[in-house]
């Protein structure tokens, strides 16, 4: 069932408020989302009817397994986006939260997992909150090698970047080296020169120091 962005926001909010281990009162949700109690009651009852919440009048709501799954997917997107905005783009923690709120509904699960790989699969957001694990079982990852080990004429698919330097990550992403992209090594320039790499219709020269940071699947 397709769930609306508004409903996702409710479930993510309830997920945060549920940490206390007791049912979440509609007044708490109303205060967190700055919405009227009547609106919150209407939405929580609707989400309960759709199987995302357990709703008990006068006591509050708890997430069902289906509701938890949706909420954790949204929190994973949000916290990975915060990590990217702070670590790679240099935004402040405060700014990153608002920006991630605007972006989180527009990222596909596939893009989120690519982003996680770019960031070397972080486990916490900039505030230290845990990033929920991906929900779908991950397939066994194919072995990877640095792109610099590909022979001339060999091709591969970028798996991830091994780098803790945000400036270098920004540079590599700006050059087009993102997970999932197909690459072909055209030439190893002699005497320690750069690699000439084909990215789609684009030919890129990249120094060996940067090339050593790019892991590919053959």
CATH of the domain at 34: 1.10.10.10
Q: What is the pLDDT of residue 35?
A: 94
Domain end (from 14, 48, 63): 63
What is the domain range of residue 186?
A: 145-217
Give a yes or no: residue 72 inside a domain. Answer: no
**195: in domain:** yes
pLDDT, one tens digit for every residue, the chain (218 residues): 578 999 999 999 999 998 767 899 999 999 999 999 999 999 998 899 888 999 887 889 999 999 999 999 999 999 999 999 999 889 998 889 889 988 888 888 888 888 998 898 999 999 999 999 987 544 445 678 999 999 999 999 988 888 777 788 888 888 888 877 899 999 999 988 999 999 988 999 999 999 999 989 88
pLDDT at 30: 95
Is 90 among the domain residues? Answer: no
Number of separate domains in the chain = 2
Closest CA relative to residue 88, chosen from 146, 159, 158, 172: 172
Asked whether the CA dihedral 91, 128, 74, 133 is positive or negative, the reply is positive
Residue pointed to by tokens 């997970």: 179
Tell me if 71 is assigned to some domain.
no
Stretch (H or E) spanning 77 = helix 65-87
- Among 14, 30, 63, the domain boundary falls at 63
Asked if residue 171 belongs to a domain, the reply is yes
Tell me what pLDDT residue 1 has: 55
For residue 48, tell me if it sits in a domain.
yes
Per-residue model confidence (pLDDT) at position 137: 45
Q: Which of 63, 94, 113 is the last residue of a domain?
A: 63
């Amino acid at each position: 069932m397709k769930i609306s962005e508004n409903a996702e926001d409710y479930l993510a909010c309830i997920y945060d408020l549920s940490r206390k281990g007791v049912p979440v009162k509609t007044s708490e949700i109303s205060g967190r989302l700055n919405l009227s109690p009547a609106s919150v009651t209407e939405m929580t009852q609707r989400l309960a009817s759709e199987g995302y919440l357990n709703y008990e009048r006068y006591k509050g709501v708890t997430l069902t397994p289906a509701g938890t799954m949706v909420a954790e997917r949204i929190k994973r997107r949000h916290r990975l986006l915060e990590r990217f905005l702070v670590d790679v783009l240099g935004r402040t923690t405060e700014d990153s939260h608002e920006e991630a709120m605007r972006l989180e509904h527009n990222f596909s699960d596939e893009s989120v997992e690519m982003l996680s790989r770019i960031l070397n699969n972080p486990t916490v957001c900039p505030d230290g909150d845990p990033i929920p694990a991906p929900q779908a079982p991950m397939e066994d990852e194919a072995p990877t090698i640095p792109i610099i080990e590909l022979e001339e004429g060999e091709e591969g698919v970028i798996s991830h970047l091994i780098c803790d330097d945000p400036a270098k990550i920004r540079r590599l992403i700006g050059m087009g080296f993102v997970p999932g992209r197909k690459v072909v090594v055209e030439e190893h320039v002699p005497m320690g020169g750069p690699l000439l790499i084909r990215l789609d219709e684009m030919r890129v020269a990249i120094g060996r120091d940067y090339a050593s940071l790019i892991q590919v699947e053959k």
